[in-house]
Amino acid sequence: MSHTSNRLIVGMTAVAAIAGVAVWVTDGNTDALWAPVHTYLMWTLVREIDPDHNSSALIAGLVGGFWVLLGYDIAGALSLAAIMLGARLVTNTTGRRPLTGDLIVIGSLAVVASFTIVGWVAGFGLAIAIYVDDRMAENTSRAQLLTAALVAIGSASVAGLSSLFPEAVPDIRPLLVIVAGVLVLITVIREPEPPVEMVDSRRKNFISQSRLHASRSLTSVIIFTATLLSGPDATAMVPMIVALALVLISNEIERIRRR
């Protein structure tokens, strides 16, 4: 990972924090205080599904921060964190299997986040990510399979207790749903270019192309599903839809560059 990119996101997060406090003081909008968190999480999410390109992650972080500061609906930090962790698990950017402690933390986050529509979709998606990571590994783990099942049940239970499941089809935002749906199709159909980023610089292991493709596909499905089920509140998904578009654009640019 580029040290320059790390320094830039630290600076962007700090600026977002200052701007968030300024908006809070002047307008009384407490949601603005989440600007630095969304900036950082959006950057981290895109780094997981587009590890070779720092620019797309930085732009996504900028969009996430501005979206919060402008006072639009937001998906929530827990939901973003769950989506990001799901992408990290499947892409396997750490280069190792999750430990028991990791599974406990990840599973707890998924369940806790499920008190909103986006949080439930993200939490259930994280359960799928745990399962997919186990299936794509050389050796299966009973602990991981059990965690995936418990997370799926736990997130659905929290969503049920929170009365999130709609009794009727929600009023959707047609444009956002169509755009998210098109992005899902492109993500699934178009394989990413072979990554040049390494999961472990000491062992010189490159990120798996198949894992990256699976991670992008799962993330795109989560974004689409959350956009569909959020109904009139789907504007909260705009930063993630933009981020997914940035990833696909950078992939096509890379494809042209390599050829």
Higher pLDDT, 3 or 238: 238
The pLDDT of residue 205: 79
- Cα dihedral 116/73/40/8 (nearest 10): 170
- Which amino acid is it at 67? W
Q: Band of the pLDDT at 41, cuts 50, 70, 90?
A: very high
Where in the chain are the domains?
3-258
The pLDDT of residue 259: 81
* Phi then psi dihedrals of residue 121, to 5 deg: -60, -45
Which one, of 118, 135, 71, 77, lies nearest residue 224 by Cα? 118
Averaged over 8-34, what is the pLDDT? 94
Q: pLDDT digits over 95-139, tens only?
A: 888 888 999 999 999 999 999 999 999 999 999 999 999 999 878
- Cα dihedral 104/107/108/111 (nearest 10): -160
Regarding pTM above 0.85, the answer is: yes
Instruction: Inform me whether the pLDDT recorded for 72 exceeds 80.
Output: yes
Contact 164, 120 (CB under 8 A): yes
Secondary structure (3-state) at 253: helix
The pLDDT of residue 1: 46
What whole-number distance in Å separates Cα of residue 167 and Cα of residue 224? 20
Averaged over 50-66, what is the pLDDT? 94
The pLDDT of residue 36: 97
Instruction: Inform me whether the pLDDT recorded for 201 exceeds 60.
Output: no
- Cα dihedral 38/43/47/50 (nearest 10): 100
